Amino acid sequence: VKVVRTIGDARAALARPTESTLGYVPTMGALHRGHLALVEAATAENDLVAVSIFVNPAQFGPEDDLERYPRDETRDLRLLEEAGVDVAFLPVADELYPAGFATWVDVGGVSEGLEGAARPGHFRGVATVCLKLFNIVGPDRVYFGRKDAQQVEVIRTMIRDLDLPLELRAVETVRDADGVALGSRNAYLSGEEREAARALPRALGEGSRAHAVGFDAAAAAREVLGAEPRLRPEYVEVARWNGTLVLAAAVRAGSTRLIDNVILEEEPR
């Protein structure tokens, strides 16, 4: 894997003949099998694959975990090497956000509610950094995990509204054997919290079953979560974004915030 850290080096490393395609996976590092599934999907349908690792300060609020967010560059680069990634772009914050930086991308509608309400400014930071990274990397296809369902729809909306010449691929959530969705923040969980976290996918599964027979998905999921005192639900809601009906939840296990979702209905694209 060729490692580049400046915008100039990234552009040079990713320059290619027009007929070859580039798949791009933006990440914040602390890579796990969920990220590797995105790399695999990108590898399957592109000539070149690029991955970025950047813990984007602009998407963390003052109460968020920017300082303690897990970072392990050596391990991440080894995983990318093993996965056959062509280019790893590890930008530095000072170059992406130089003094005087003043342009932000606000995606209306889909950014509101759920994660948008719980983390004000989060999606503005995500959309802005993604647009910047897309402009630098110049991919034909970009790969996002469905675990961040609202993020997928924010990026999908931005690509559509700003006429970006690239396609978005949403890749299925990767789960451990007990159903818990893989996430970089799972590393924070104690043994007991990790055990309690199983109630989250269980609740979403119950919500999905309830919806299928005409009952209230969110109410069914809340009931399951209510029986696990070690989890504190932040929200459990049904949302419709770009034709997809999703049951999404955020909970706290100790000080760790976990999100997950299940698709209830989806229009064919």
Residue keyed to tokens 């999905």: 208
59 binds ligand PAF (CB under 6 A): yes
173-202: contacts with ligand PAF (CB under 6 A) = none
Residue 119, amino acid: R
Min CB(179)–ligand PAF separation in Å: 21
With respect to ligand PAF, which residue has the nearer C-beta, 142 or 231? 142
Contact code string over 61-100 relative to ligand PAF, x by CB under 6 A:
----------------------------------------
- In order of 99, 118, 203, 239, the CA distances from 71 in angstroms are 25, 24, 30, 32
Closest contact distance (angstroms) between CB of 204 and ligand PAF is: 19
Q: How far is the CB of 136 from ligand PAF (least distance, A)?
A: 13
Tokens of 138: 């110049």
Residue 189 gets which letter from DSSP?
-
- Contact stretch for ligand PAF (CB under 6 A) within 75-83, 94-102, 124-132, 167-175: 124-132
What is the rounded CA–CA span in Å between residue 250 and residue 230? 14
* Helices 33-45, 73-82: crossing angle, 10 deg rounding: 40
Asked if residue 28 binds ligand PAF (CB under 6 A), the reply is: yes
How far apart CA 72 and CA 130 sit, in angstroms, is 22
Q: Which of 46, 56, 128, 186 binds ligand PAF (CB under 6 A)?
A: 56
Comparison of 80 and 129: residue with beta carbon closer to ligand PAF: 129
**Please, which residue, 27 or 244, has the CB nearer to ligand PAF?**
27
Q: Which stretch binds ligand PAF (CB under 6 A): 24-32, 60-68, 207-215, 248-256?
A: 24-32
> 235 and 118 in contact (C-beta within 8 Å)?
yes
32 labelled catalytic = no
Shortest spacing between CB 184 and ligand PAF, in angstroms: 8
Q: Which of 171, 174, 243, 162 is nearest to 24 (CA)?
A: 171
Minimum CB distance to ligand PAF smaller for 24 or for 218: 24
32, 161 contact by CB (below 8 A): no
Residues contacting 267, CB < 8 A, separation 6+: 243, 244
Cα–Cα dist 57/53, whole Å: 13
By the rule CB under 6 A, 148 interacts with ligand PAF: yes
Residue 211 C-beta: closest distance to ligand PAF, Å:
26
Strands 167-171 and 231-241: unpaired
Where on the chain is the footprint of ligand PAF (CB under 6 A)? Answer: 26-28, 56, 59, 126, 129-130, 148, 151
Just list the catalytic residues: 35
